[in-house]
A and B are shown apart, each in its own frame.
Chain A
């Protein structure tokens, strides 16, 4: 690798050829402010359109200022990052951005987390000298995502997330000049697009232009209703990230505090989605073994690989993009929906209540879950199995609203019976976790042997697309894993063209899996945060006394008392679903 020598603010620095001024400066402790730029290694996310022009610096001998994020270091370059010319340009550019941005910070959903706000503060903007017309765009409220594009600053991060990372292709710049904005084609609503509601656009938006649909008030209303029994379930990835909202180190596990806080909020039963994850393994694992056995016995009607179906973003993605393959994914519902179905049947019966008397709230790292619980097939006579889904961020909001000092809470345990879970249920929160959990149980159920070592390190990691072969007592099982829908697409294309020989594939829509979900505390582009959350998940798994789903005593009880066995008629009715061909068809009116 060739090295180049340059000076930045009179400091000499040697970097590899191809390094940008921004990166070179960072390596010697000079933090050039930037806005549109965002890069996440391992996530295939690199957004540097060079559009905001906040990171401009002076390069000796150059006619105009250079965008540091986009300009590569050259031998002998002399860079100045804070001359009068630079500071004036940077402030003026910032004022221009602010001059077309609603000054609604006090009531903005992003306040306190807004990168634009931080930058304005850092640059010391106290007055906006350039004022004029402001852009106005029609609002868009989908069940999961709210688009307030008046707040869009055209950083294009959402576009990169939607197109490059997720390959969903809903968001792109439309219109020209002052009217330009990022939107679905023809500025349609997300509802009418092929949006998966994965929420990765929200996760990277620097301002309040893209936020989650806030349902905290619905939760508060349910909690104060004396006629309702309010049940809450929390997804595995929430406990690995919630602490961040209260200033804790990323990767701090707050399971016990979270349970305590939920109880303080007034939930009647604090349950765990991890329980439903164990249940998912029972159903999905059994379905997999059934398909695998029939396949091995030469049944040509059986299709492999089986694809996981826990992730609603992923489900909507394949319904839109690969409708010809909707018979391959497992028919098992997601843990959120399995929980809802069991809560409103098995558990309601235990309480001697009607399903309508129960309100099931889910706390999810996810925005697609908000959409998932509105899907018609997940309700009975208009009563949804899961009534409200809130994100990790919204839970933090609820906790703050209730004046709870989160950090000082004493750990508490989940309620039973739907609060007991195994380590296998916990690792659902990260990429590779669902398939590892499935393998742990499937191995024992298939081979009849005891699995000595439950950790499958070959299935773990952060690479976007992974392949591993697991030895099932002599039988080689080919496993594929993808996180990020772009990676999923590649894997699926290979399946479609017959290029791959996988037996099972796990797919999660978000980079990193649920730990990187669109409803998690904002990572602001820091991939280390995701890695720390992942470590926390595996840590929780390692600390669990039971680590295989089929060994969960309450799962065993559920089958004994209620469901019978996996894939029973009742299981099919409550725990399995079907998919729809949602391919966009162009209809030409005659």
Chain B
């Protein structure tokens, strides 16, 4: 392998690619070649850096200079200035939001300082399309160690001792799951990787597969060895074309290197992986539904037991783990169960990847040790609330989770504390809301999603969630009646208590948690006909202050529905029965006479 003095890492995640990072890489390469730096400088297209807010991003290695919002036209300057002349391109450096000063390199960026990257260890560092780069970072040596030196029981014990729990959301102990599948006797078993990531706004698994596909393949092979399976299947949604492409490349390369296939490392262990495509149904992330979908059946869950460990794909014992869970496995074997177990909290070991989104300054992909507080995530890593607004709530766990408030900000994040506070870990979506967000509307948004994604098999989810949505809709339209909140809560509780699968059982969480944490907001909608956040259009009233209005008629002229009347130079009036609440009048008024009530 050639040795380079400098590397230019260009983010090749889906987000940055959408902002022309491919062209940036091409232009950088061109500039490198033109300046005859080809032997010293390598341009590498990596997986996601995580700092999507500032994309496209590139990083200069070894000095870790971090350039943000890079455009293809910047390539030549970057090569000439940074590499040839040794001067940083100041205008492309990251500006610290607090100090307003440019930050020299990624190690000094708050966004990265509190992160600990295990699952994402290679994302943004290596070229995911080159197996040698993975191997250079100890890739496949965990598999080698396991195959050569460990019995399946010993290897399972390592996973159990590590304390790793399922990162897909449920938090089931991974080692125990492996052990159960190991103990199921069968002529054929399967390892399944659940890559059916579907939470709104979540892209943890996609980023891992795009940035470090081999870590998942290696872990699946280790799992196959442990449970006694020679076949691995990756169930991935077809809307992840880049992840699929990189997985395919990775599988081909691993086969070529003998790391997948027959007699791996001469151990006599055979293992190969193939890809199964999902059509993008949220419920297919539920493991029994996922298995049915892979079998070519309708993607519907079935009642457990039997668990997949007993009867899964084609009726055979099947171990289903999520992408992020797998991505942790090689690191655990490389550094030891004890090392992993010491990270995080007592019952939730290791780290968790979150897709931080919403009204936060630093939107992106982050990985933090379990036990990190929400405050640290939102304010330190996330850089606080956008536009200096007030923090109101954070939704974790996607449509299955709940909204947590300011009171929960200092809670250490782990499976159990989140559950105890009425939310859940989920797969790692984290959406931050500010004072402008209406919590009833937020609950409605999630229910809208659940209604769309319900498979329709059980009554509580099929009809119950629809009715839940309709009740919320009624509330946001100001049509709710006395007693509707009682009905809402009863229905939410019954759905939780009676739905067939995890999707239905958790779908009322956004409703219940917002009702618990923001009761006054619900009551304001129902009893006072007001939306405190000013989001519910039906509950808004545009009013002209009679003292401030000078009768300039500007408002009445812009009103698209002629809802404003009044004599020239006399105060005007808005007929609220005609008003469509478009806000055009308020925007036009030069005297601040129009307000929303």
* A residues in contact (CB < 8 Å) with B: 49-54, 56, 64-65, 67, 70-72, 85, 88-89, 92-93, 96-97, 99-100, 129-133, 153-154, 172-173, 175-180
A96 and B459 within 8 A (CB): yes
Chain B, residues 425-467, CB within 8 Å of chain A (1/0): the string is: 0000000000000000000000000011111111111111111
Instruction: Output the least CB separation between A4 and chain B (Å).
Output: 14
- Whether, in the assembled complex, B305 has its beta carbon less than 8 Å from a beta carbon of chain A, the answer is yes
- Whether, in the assembled complex, B500 has its beta carbon less than 8 Å from a beta carbon of chain A, the answer is yes
A177 and B467 within 8 A (CB): no
Closest 3 CB pairs of A and B: A180-B456, A177-B454, A132-B470
Query: Closest chain B residue to A50 by CB distance?
Result: B303
Stretch of B168-176, B258-266, B489-497 with 4 or more beta carbons under 8 angstroms from chain A: B489-497
- Residue in contact with A96 in the complex, picked from B300, B464, B497, B500, CB distance below 8 Å: B464
B458 and A177 within 8 A (CB): no
A50 and B302 within 8 A (CB): yes
Query: Closest chain A residue to B458 by CB distance?
Result: A51
B281: chain A residues at CB < 8 Å are 176
Residue from B300, B470, B494 whose CB has the most chain A CB atoms within 10 Å: B494
B454 and A178 within 8 A (CB): yes
Known contacts A88-B490, A129-B487, A176-B453; can you find 16 more A-B pairs with CB under 8 A? A53-B459, A53-B460, A54-B459, A65-B497, A70-B303, A92-B464, A93-B464, A93-B494, A96-B463, A132-B470, A154-B459, A173-B300, A178-B454, A178-B463, A180-B456, A180-B462
Q: List 20 A-B contacts (CB under 8 A).
A: A50-B302, A51-B459, A52-B458, A53-B460, A64-B505, A92-B464, A92-B494, A93-B464, A96-B463, A130-B463, A130-B487, A130-B491, A131-B467, A133-B470, A154-B457, A173-B298, A176-B456, A178-B451, A178-B456, A178-B466
A350 to B343 alpha-carbon distance, docked (Å): 98
A173 to B463 alpha-carbon distance, docked (Å): 16
A172: chain B residues at CB < 8 Å are 298
B300: chain A residues at CB < 8 Å are 173
A51 to B301 alpha-carbon distance, docked (Å): 10
Instruction: Output the least CB separation between B505 and chain A (Å).
Output: 6
- Whether, in the assembled complex, B498 has its beta carbon less than 8 Å from a beta carbon of chain A, the answer is yes
B458 and A53 within 8 A (CB): yes
B500 and A50 within 8 A (CB): yes
- Residue in contact with A53 in the complex, picked from B305, B451, B500, CB distance below 8 Å: B500
Residue from A88, A93, A99 whose CB has the most chain B CB atoms within 10 Å: A93
Instruction: Output the least CB separation between B133 and chain A (Å).
Output: 41
A51 and B457 within 8 A (CB): yes
A67 to B301 alpha-carbon distance, docked (Å): 14
Known A50-B302, A173-B300, A177-B454; contact A93-B498, beta-carbon cutoff 8 A: yes
- Whether, in the assembled complex, B499 has its beta carbon less than 8 Å from a beta carbon of chain A, the answer is yes
**Residues of B contacting A: mostly:** helix
A54: chain B residues at CB < 8 Å are 459
B499: chain A residues at CB < 8 Å are 53, 64
A179 and B456 within 8 A (CB): yes
Known A65-B498, A99-B467; contact A93-B459, beta-carbon cutoff 8 A: yes
* B residues in contact (CB < 8 Å) with A: 281, 298, 300, 302-303, 305, 451-467, 470-471, 487, 490-491, 494, 496-500, 505
Query: Closest chain B residue to A177 by CB distance?
Result: B454
A53: chain B residues at CB < 8 Å are 458-460, 498-500
B467 and A130 within 8 A (CB): yes
A549 to B180 alpha-carbon distance, docked (Å): 63
Query: Closest chain A residue to B468 by CB distance?
Result: A130
A64 to B504 alpha-carbon distance, docked (Å): 12
A89 and B491 within 8 A (CB): no
A56 and B498 within 8 A (CB): yes
- Residue in contact with A177 in the complex, picked from B303, B455, B470, B497, CB distance below 8 Å: B455
Known A97-B459, A130-B487; contact A177-B500, beta-carbon cutoff 8 A: no
B458 and A175 within 8 A (CB): no
A49 to B465 alpha-carbon distance, docked (Å): 19
Residue from A65, A88, A89, A178 whose CB has the most chain B CB atoms within 10 Å: A178
A176 and B505 within 8 A (CB): no
B498 and A176 within 8 A (CB): no
B457 and A49 within 8 A (CB): yes
A51: chain B residues at CB < 8 Å are 457-459, 500
- Residue in contact with B451 in the complex, picked from A49, A71, A177, CB distance below 8 Å: A177
A133 to B451 alpha-carbon distance, docked (Å): 13
A362 to B75 alpha-carbon distance, docked (Å): 86
A72: chain B residues at CB < 8 Å are 305
A240 to B491 alpha-carbon distance, docked (Å): 47
A53 to B281 alpha-carbon distance, docked (Å): 23
A121 to B499 alpha-carbon distance, docked (Å): 23
A153: chain B residues at CB < 8 Å are 459
A92: chain B residues at CB < 8 Å are 464, 490-491, 494
A450 to B116 alpha-carbon distance, docked (Å): 93
Query: Closest chain A residue to B282 by CB distance?
Result: A176
Query: Closest chain A residue to B505 by CB distance?
Result: A64
A180 to B459 alpha-carbon distance, docked (Å): 11
B497: chain A residues at CB < 8 Å are 56, 64-65, 85, 89
B494 and A88 within 8 A (CB): yes
A155 to B424 alpha-carbon distance, docked (Å): 31
A142 to B463 alpha-carbon distance, docked (Å): 29
A242 to B456 alpha-carbon distance, docked (Å): 38
B463 and A99 within 8 A (CB): yes
Known A56-B498, A70-B303, A93-B494; contact A175-B457, beta-carbon cutoff 8 A: no
A88: chain B residues at CB < 8 Å are 490, 494
Query: Closest chain A residue to B499 by CB distance?
Result: A53
Instruction: Output the least CB separation between B418 and chain A (Å).
Output: 16
Known A65-B498, A89-B498; contact A132-B466, beta-carbon cutoff 8 A: yes
B467: chain A residues at CB < 8 Å are 96, 99, 130-132
A130: chain B residues at CB < 8 Å are 463-464, 467, 471, 487, 491
A153 to B458 alpha-carbon distance, docked (Å): 10
A100 to B456 alpha-carbon distance, docked (Å): 13
Instruction: Output the least CB separation between A411 and chain B (Å).
Output: 48
- Residue in contact with A175 in the complex, picked from B302, B456, B461, B471, CB distance below 8 Å: B456
Instruction: Output the least CB separation between A175 and chain B (Å).
Output: 7
Known A53-B460, A96-B467, A172-B298; contact A64-B498, beta-carbon cutoff 8 A: yes
Residue from B459, B460, B466, B494 whose CB has the most chain A CB atoms within 10 Å: B459
Query: Closest chain B residue to A67 by CB distance?
Result: B303
A89 and B458 within 8 A (CB): no
Residue from B458, B462, B490 whose CB has the most chain A CB atoms within 10 Å: B462
A88 to B490 alpha-carbon distance, docked (Å): 9
Instruction: Output the least CB separation between A51 and chain B (Å).
Output: 5
A131: chain B residues at CB < 8 Å are 467
A132 to B281 alpha-carbon distance, docked (Å): 25
B460: chain A residues at CB < 8 Å are 53, 93, 96
